[in-house]
Structure 1
Amino acid sequence: MNKFAKRIIPCLDVKDGRVVKGTNFVGLKDAGDPVEIAKRYNDEGADELCFLDITASHEERDTIVHIVEKVAKTLFIPLTVGGGIRSIDDISRLLNAGCDKISLNSAAIKNPSLVEQAANKFGSSCVVVAIDAKKTKNSHNVFINGGRIDTGLDAYLWAKKVAQLGAGEILLTSMDSDGTKAGFDIELTSKISSLVSVPVIASGGAGSMEHILDVFRCGADAALAASIFHYKEIEIKALKEYLSANGISVRV
């Protein structure tokens, strides 16, 4: 695969064993069965798949490993899993269940050394740090627990820190843009992409092919989206053809 090919990553936000989608992290609607949807994306040409157990941290429970196992069995593309991961043992369990990477968010904030330990034990390429960022008066702050708690941390400083700790990728979600379909937060994405040397996955706001083209042009290495793919508003094959025609290198 071309090292510099941009990646298209559908995201499955999972709650109570079902895929859901909301706007600005609230108003969740059912979007289907995670195993069926994962298989469809695998067949349609997605580069990777992201599976987020969105209430695990808030409910202080473990990720739904049995569903992860079922999803992993249907895939021939890399799978990233996040939500409710609090320890090295949790990470081991998920990697053994068949996922390729884990995504840390709340746990990384509460215990930054977990990022370093995970990178040392499993390799940086297995460790994604998710940053849910929301505009404040002067900057962007990092939120945790599914967007419920403002940590007061500056998103730009935190991105630099997790890259130094060994995160192999940053999954950057603009909470202001999430589910709005009004486009990615270009300012946030381009600034973080320029501050770190690791790949940045842009998330939050995809509503059209142009939005995805724009976020790639501003420095993102991958684009993550949910509803436009779940509800078949955009087909992955057509999206890749469009990006390729506009000079973006993608895996066809």
Structure 2
Amino acid sequence: MRAKDIRDRKGDDEPLTMLTAYDAPTAEILEDVGVDMLLVGDSVGNLRLGYDSTLPVTVDQIASHTAAVARVADEPMVVADMPFLSFGVDPDEAIEHAGRMLKEADADAVKLESGPHTVKLTERLTQLGIPVQAHLGLTPQHENETGLFRQGTDESAATQILDLAYKHERAGAFSLVLEHVPANVASEVTDAISIPTIGIGAGPDCDGQVLTVDEVIGLSESVAPFSKAFGDVRGEMRSAVEDYVDAVRSGAFPDDEHSHYEDDLDDIR
């Protein structure tokens, strides 16, 4: 799936689906069930790499995880999330980092946590053939400035989100993630722009939805207030590992079914 395919889904009766993916096995499952877009999010930092936030994640780490996802994902769009300080400082470096995701990691697009500083970069990247998904509202890379709180909660902030949505649409973004904003603000932005909006904690009126796969499958210890666990993978993993430990300690595993014996090798000393 390419940027044009996503853009053409604007206003469809069937909303777009997007989930994070950080590895090949997960990507295979998400493709099998028909997820439209796989986001290799910088959330890999706190969900897979043991960091306290997304800020320490590097370009190399995103490229590596993106490549793993892209190797097995044929139909879904693979979107590489550009990590903290990989853009917004030096335009030439930002272009190089984003281009690397397509050239080396085989991503189909990049996502930028957006603001006034990313409008020109979005335009330049799209001119160069690098599709851009914009991201407004709560932008976790700015947590030290804004905190991890709902955004767009007053008229001034909501108007700024709408203004930036227009600007990134005109700059060539093929879609827009709206995170943790009031549902009525997301609804107005969705109606106002011609590219699909993908909501996360932004209500039901966006053109699609995105969550972290860990929360959806129940792998996370906790779930954000705007998210939902649709399974209990954490519980299943714990139960399976407990059964394994008990079987090894009791001597029940491995048994003859899981062992191989070679004739005439009973006495090799």
Shorter-chain TM-score: what band?
0.5 to 0.7
Alpha-carbon distance, 1:6 to partner: 2.0
Q: Which amino acid aligns with 2:163?
A: L
| 1:101 corresponds to 2:109 | yes
- What is the match of residue 230 of structure 1? 217
Unaligned 5+ residue runs, structure 2?
A: 46-52, 88-93, 148-155, 220-228, 232-269
- What is the match of residue 145 of structure 2? 149
Rg larger in structure: 2
When the two structures are superposed, what TM-score results if normalisation uses the length of structure 2?
0.59
- What is the match of residue 73 of structure 1? 71
* 1:7-46 correspondence runs (5 A): 7-12=16-21, 34-46=23-35
Percent of aligned pairs with the same amino acid: 16
- What is the match of residue 166 of structure 1? 172
Q: Which amino acid aligns with 2:31?
A: N
Q: Which amino acid aligns with 2:134?
A: V
- In structure 2, distance between residues paired with 1:129 and 1:148: 20
Match of 1:129 among 100, 121, 134: 134
Q: 1:158 to 1:120 in 2, by over 3 A?
A: same
Find the residue that maps to 2:143 and give its secondary structure. coil
Q: What are the superposed Cα offsets for residues 166-191 of structure 1, whole Å, 9 maximum, x if unpaired?
A: 2111011116xxxxxxxxx4212101
Unaligned 5+ residue runs, structure 1?
A: 13-18, 20-33, 134-142, 176-184, 206-213, 236-252
- What is the match of residue 207 of structure 2? 221
Q: What are the superposed Cα offsets for residues 77-107 of structure 1, whole Å, 9 maximum, x if unpaired?
A: 111111324211111110121111110115x
Q: 1:63 to 1:103 in 2, by over 3 A?
A: farther
When the two structures are superposed, what TM-score results if normalisation uses the length of structure 1?
0.62
Match of 2:197 among 194, 200, 207: 200
Q: 1:132 to 1:63 in 2, by over 3 A?
A: farther
Find the residue that maps to 2:41 and give its secondary structure. strand
Q: Which amino acid aligns with 2:102?
A: L
- What is the match of residue 47 of structure 1? 36
- In structure 2, distance between residues paired with 1:195 and 1:63: 37
Alpha-carbon distance, 1:109 to partner: 4.1
- Residue 63 of structure 1 contacts residue 83 of structure 1 at CA under 8 Å; is this kept in 2? no
- For structure 1, which segment, 56-65 or 188-197, has the greater mean C-alpha deviation from structure 2 after superposition? 56-65
**Which structure features the higher share of helix residues?**
2
Aligned length: 183
Alpha-carbon distance, 1:147 to partner: 3.1
Alpha-carbon distance, 1:57 to partner: 7.1
Q: Which amino acid aligns with 1:66?
A: S
Alpha-carbon distance, 1:200 to partner: 0.5
Q: 1:71 to 1:160 in 2, by over 3 A?
A: same
- In structure 2, distance between residues paired with 1:35 and 1:70: 5
- In structure 1, distance between residues paired with 2:60 and 2:111: 11
- In structure 1, distance between residues paired with 2:183 and 2:125: 30
Root-mean-square deviation over aligned CA pairs: 3.0
- In structure 1, distance between residues paired with 2:54 and 2:230: 31
- Residue 42 of structure 2 contacts residue 57 of structure 2 at CA under 8 Å; is this kept in 1? no
Alpha-carbon distance, 1:43 to partner: 1.6
User: Relative CO higher for 1 or 2, CA cutoff 8 Å, sep ≥ 6?
Assistant: 1
- What is the match of residue 119 of structure 1? 126
- What is the match of residue 28 of structure 1? none
